[in-house]
């Protein structure tokens, strides 16, 4: 299921994706699926992008569906933060 990019208030990007890793302290890895149209073949192709997001309370666990919001750079690779946990993993 492709969730993709959603524009938030104030022009900041929002992604909805699934947590793939929560092994780092205060950091989660979120896989975001987007559907893009191939320019030549005119078929939709699924693209997966992994982003590192800041999780202050270590609340998200592997398998959770979460919404992450763009923020200032927190570290070299981390410029997203956890906004809300949409759905818990079973």
Instruction: Pull the structure tokens for residue 81.
Output: 């933060």
Q: Say if residue 17's pLDDT is above 70.
A: yes
Total-model pTM: 0.85
Average pLDDT over residues 64-89: 96
**pLDDT band at 2; cut points 50, 70, 90:** low
Q: How far apart are CA 33 and CA 4, in angstroms?
A: 6
Topology, domain 5-87: OB fold (Dihydrolipoamide Acetyltransferase, E2P) (2.40.50)
Domain coordinates in residue numbering, the chain: 5-87
CB-CB contact of 49 with 13 (8 Å): no
Mean pLDDT of the chain: 92
């Amino acid at each position: 299921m492709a969730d993709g990019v959603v524009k938030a208030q104030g022009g900041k990007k929002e992604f909805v994706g699934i947590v793939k890793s929560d092994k780092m302290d205060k950091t989660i890895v979120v896989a975001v699926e987007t559907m893009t149209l191939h320019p030549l073949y005119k078929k939709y192709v699924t693209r997966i992008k992994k982003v590192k997001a800041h999780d202050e309370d270590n609340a998200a666990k592997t398998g959770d569906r979460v919404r992450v919001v763009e923020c200032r750079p927190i570290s070299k690779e981390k410029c997203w933060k956890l906004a809300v946990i949409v759905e818990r993993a079973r």
